[in-house]
Structure 1
Amino acid sequence: MEYNLADLYEAIADATPDNMALASGDVHHTYAELDKRANRLGHYLQSRGIGAGDHIGLHLFNGHEFVEAILALFKIRAVGININYRFVGPEVRYMIDDADLKGIVTQRRFVPVINEATQGLEPLQALIVIEDGVDAIADQESIEYETALGQGSEERDFGPRSGDDLYIIYTGGTTGMPKGVMWRHEDLFFSGLQGGSPGGEPVESPEQLVEQAKDGWYTVTMLPCAPFIHGAAQFTQWICHLTGGKLVLQHGPSFDAGRILSLVAEEDASTLSLVGDAMAIPLIDELKAGDYDMSNLTVIASAGAILSPSVQAEIEELLPDVMIINSFGTSESGDLGRAARDEDSHEGRPSFYMGEDVTVLDEEGKQIEPGSGEIGMVARSGRLSLGYSAATEKTAERFREFNGKRWVVPGDFATVEEDGRITFLGRGSKCINTGGEKVFPEEVEEALKAHPDIIDALVVAVPDPRFGSKVAAVFNTRDNKHLSLDEVKEHCRKHVARYKLPRQITITETVSRMPSGKPDYPWAEKIARDQASA
């Protein structure tokens, strides 16, 4: 058996056929049932000429269909491509072209978007539509999802697969159009999926993984809050299923804090994964307002965005027995490390200890000396993604060779503490240069969110005639409370150096974020620059 995700799932399904694999709305599937449904879809796709190496768009809300579809595609050695369900026609057209899509699985409500995106193109080899209560007719041949499954055999008679088969995650739409990150299944298993043993040592063989699942060594019930268009949610799915555990989904189009908390109790979820403060704050507010049974919850893990200290403190007060973990990583690098609350650095910035494959490098590829205070680039070697599927220049920028060793440099800047911990500072691409001083937005955003009246905040640069750029904050407040610039600066002085203080503020009703919970910096930049030029 190879480290191929379809092979591994099938082996676990054979060893634990009656384990509950999936809870999504009213749908509950055991490992055996999910396996058979994926077989049916895989056979249908093969009947449409889809095979090894072909790319199929998954233009879907969270639900059992996404899980079934990506497993079905891996069974036939094809690749599922996540498409942001907020995209309009031209953006979906970009995805069709960039990812060379042969087919799409979509919601009925998105059929008009698909019609616009495919105008002037040859018909897709497969267009599979999930009914969602909306009436829309496709301009090309299509089939309803359950009908497609009904036309496929549930027999598992697919050919051999390889650990070299590809897993592609489209990422990065905050600063431009998304790019497809290519992983070999085997490399992703060890670098992104915790080697089959969450929090433990990676397995030494596929057979060990199956035994662990059978014996329940690491079996967990996990509930990802983020949509599957976000790599972190997909990773949660596979980490869960590789333990033989149950994946719980909030079925549908949007994040609902109340429904998430209800599912924790209804499905006995032990691990809740989310994306930073944008998801944590509504959960905190709902916990305060409602009466929810959280007795089975043991871990809250944030991936894709760091939980600010003030938000962590609120969670700890409400859920004192739950471990809170900040997970560091990117779609390009996989897992970089994790830090619990008591492992934060002296300034409250999350930090973690370096493994042999993770370090901080300067521009020449030399390791930053611990305790030097120098800022460098977080880098990882070892098992890495292959690069971007259709972006050679970007691959060369992110994947570098130093002293004969290949490294991925995702764009995060950090320093190394005297005791060897890496302390994250922020994304280099958003670093603000004001009068020659570097300001990382994340530092100021966390300071702002420590204010009792500020709910969420984004920090961006706006032009300044004296300093080149100045720090501008866009935030919303509880009960739309007005705060003056002087009040905000006075608060922030307790948390950051004077040169990092906001010089301009804009209070909005809401703070825009991507469906994944990641910052919508283009939105904040427009708001701040419009105010600066007014």
Structure 2
Amino acid sequence: MQEFKTPEEFNAALDESANHGMTVAFWADQAPDRTAVVDPSGREKTFAEVNANANKLVRALRKAGLKAGDSLALLCSNRAEFIETLAATQRSGLRITPVNWHLTVDEIAYIIKDCEAKALVAEARVAAAAPAAAECPDLLIKLSVGGDIEGFLNYETTLAAEDGSDIPDPVRGGQMMYTSGTTGRPKGVHRANAPVIPPSMLALRGYDPKTSVQMCAGPAYHAAPLAFDVNASMNAGVPLHFIDKWDSEHVLKTISEKKVTHFHLVPIMFQRLLSLPPEVKANYPIDHVEYIVHGAAPCPPEVKHAMIEWFGPVLSEYYAGSEGGAGFTITAEEWLKKPGSVGKRPQMLQVRILDEEGNELPPGVPGGIYHQLPPGGGFTYYKDEAKTNANRRDGFFTMGDVGYFDEDDYLFLTGRNAETIISGGVNIYPQEIDNELIKHPAVADSATVGIPHDEWGEQVRAVIMLKPGYEPSDQLAQEILGFGRQTLAAYKVPRGLDFVTELPRSEAGKIQRNKVRAPYWEGRARQI
């Protein structure tokens, strides 16, 4: 074990390990027997075990022909192999793309091919893994986790044949998350030279390697849990408790009994915890919790007030996107003074509020939110120059959000001009749904929108115009929704359907989704 004379030397070595993707190796050296990850099943792995398997996986991938700069797709639920695969890509120069394993075969295959993956690590429980992989002829190696998949090598068997010592030539890898616009097909957010955030900075969130415990209650393939739960625990050298499926009392019990100090949630999770009976809440002390970070969806003020009253002023809210940008954060103390804000104007990179002509707007006037691109250009949408350029203006880019700064430079979100539906913190793209519903023989036109929902924030609703000869009925509505279930992932299927005699279109022929949506939101503020 490497020894350090001062905390400054320790932090310098930790930060240097991040430059080579070797933070897990650093912690394996410093605290080899410390628990690194706890599966939902209760299986535990130490930092030494995770680190050894990461090294073994690198060697197996290299034998298959992968080299730095290549891509790996990960189709895996919240379990230890997720961490091991991530650690392997971080030190081998590979670009990892975690894939939502709830997607359909076609959707999964599209992402695997679009990110140009040469390796696929997939979990046996994902039925779509084998047929999706069959559509991807460029894969050099396919590994199955948690059981066997036809045509795949077994993960454990493959790694057992490899050397677990630290690789001598680590190269920092990266990740490419997938996001999407209203066209429905996801796009990779690619950063050729992503900055390395020094792990020692995690101390600012109150991390102590000897006492802190992390929980991940959301899917690790999502950008926020991946950043705030998974990568944070790996970099801070603290145990990570994975939750596989949301159960409010189980989550609260985990927080209480495992002495969880840090975790990321979305507002619907707040609401579900708060809805537990008082006698259940009383069974689980939570006074050890130090840091709860949240974002991804609007949090009703009354919900946030209730969470602060219960857990204390330990909430930190963020506003950002997969594309990056300056990033906004606001502490509980600040938020109580500026309820509804997502934070003060950042110091390092500029943020502007612009009208449609590109003019900067004064405080209190809503407009498009534009974030300054960092030196070097920041990100591109992978293999889509048109989409990359479409959201940029004079060195700034927008994620389609609308808001304003107040007189104290605090940002408030008032909506978004992107058509994305955010339901329970999950992005759903209406055009993708319309593209499937329009295939039904009775449907002349479709405009899917998000309508108000007290628990989820928004709920998916299909608005349908029928072809001549068809009459609206409950039976036909259920038939169309059932048709959608055949090709759409379950969470994308509309929860209800309304028939109309016409749908508003612009002179250019585009459906004016904002006009379709408006009646549902009458008298209510629609936020991001």
Distance 1:430 1:219, change over 3 A: farther
What is the CA–CA distance in structure 1 between the aligned matches of 2:101 and 2:450, rounded to whole Å? 29
Show structure 1 runs of 4+ deviating over 6 A: 445-449, 459-464, 531-534
Q: Which residue of 1 aligns with 2:241?
A: 248
- Is 1:43 equivalent to 2:51 in the alignment? no
Pick one of 72, 90, 94 that aligns with 1:78.
94
1:149-228 aligned within 5 A: 149-162=159-172, 165-172=173-180, 176-184=184-192, 186-187=194-195, 189-190=196-197, 196-198=200-202, 200=204, 216=208, 220-228=212-220
What is the CA–CA distance in structure 2 between the aligned matches of 1:77 and 1:30, rounded to whole Å? 24
Identity score, percent:
21
What is the CA–CA distance in structure 1 between the aligned matches of 2:194 and 2:393, rounded to whole Å? 22
Pick one of 131, 137, 146 that aligns with 1:131.
146
1:10-409 aligned within 5 A: 10-25=25-40, 26-110=42-126, 112-119=127-134, 121-122=136-137, 124-131=139-146, 137-138=149-150, 140=151, 142-162=152-172, 165-172=173-180, 176-184=184-192, 186-187=194-195, 189-190=196-197, 196-198=200-202, 200=204, 216=208, 220-236=212-228, 237-250=230-243, 252=244, 254-277=245-268, 279-286=269-276, 288=278, 290=280, 291-319=283-311, 321-333=312-324, 336-344=327-335, 348-356=339-347, 357-362=349-354, 363=356, 365-371=358-364, 373-382=365-374, 385-398=378-391, 400-402=392-394, 406-409=395-398
- Per-residue CA distance 1:191-214 (angstroms, 9 max, x = gap): xxx86424749xxxxxxxxxx98x
What is the CA–CA distance in structure 1 between the aligned matches of 2:241 and 2:113, rounded to whole Å? 33
What is the CA–CA distance in structure 2 between the aligned matches of 1:350 and 1:55, rounded to whole Å? 38
Distance 1:198 1:354, change over 3 A: farther
What is the CA–CA distance in structure 1 between the aligned matches of 2:404 and 2:118, rounded to whole Å? 44
1:382 CA displacement: 2.5
1:462 CA displacement: 8.8
What is the CA–CA distance in structure 2 between the aligned matches of 1:391 and 1:288, rounded to whole Å? 51
- CA root-mean-square deviation: 3.8
1:289 CA displacement: 5.7
- Per-residue CA distance 1:429-475 (angstroms, 9 max, x = gap): 1399xxxxxxxxxxxx99967xxxx43442789989xxxxxxxxxxx
| TM-score of the superposed pair, with normalisation by structure 2 | 0.72
Q: Which residue of 1 aligns with 2:427?
A: none
Q: Which runs of 5+ in 1 are unaligned?
A: 202-211, 433-444, 465-511
1:59 CA displacement: 0.6
What is the CA–CA distance in structure 1 between the aligned matches of 2:43 and 2:274, rounded to whole Å? 28
What is the CA–CA distance in structure 1 between the aligned matches of 2:193 and 2:231, rounded to whole Å? 11
Q: Which residue of 1 aligns with 2:425?
A: none
Distance 1:266 1:101, change over 3 A: same
- Per-residue CA distance 1:356-402 (angstroms, 9 max, x = gap): 3141231455543334x24231413326642122222211123x252
SS in 2 for 1:50: coil
Higher mean C-alpha displacement, 33-42 vs 291-300: 291-300
What is the CA–CA distance in structure 1 between the aligned matches of 2:36 and 2:119, rounded to whole Å? 27
- Per-residue CA distance 1:191-248 (angstroms, 9 max, x = gap): xxx86424749xxxxxxxxxx98xx489742212210120001102212322222222
What is the CA–CA distance in structure 2 between the aligned matches of 1:2 and 1:532, rounded to whole Å? 62
Contact 1:16 1:31 survives alignment (8 Å): yes
Q: Which residue of 2 aligns with 1:6?
A: 21
Contact 1:53 1:77 survives alignment (8 Å): yes
What is the CA–CA distance in structure 2 between the aligned matches of 1:295 and 1:232, rounded to whole Å? 24
| TM-score of the superposed pair, with normalisation by structure 1 | 0.71
Contact 2:39 2:241 survives alignment (8 Å): yes
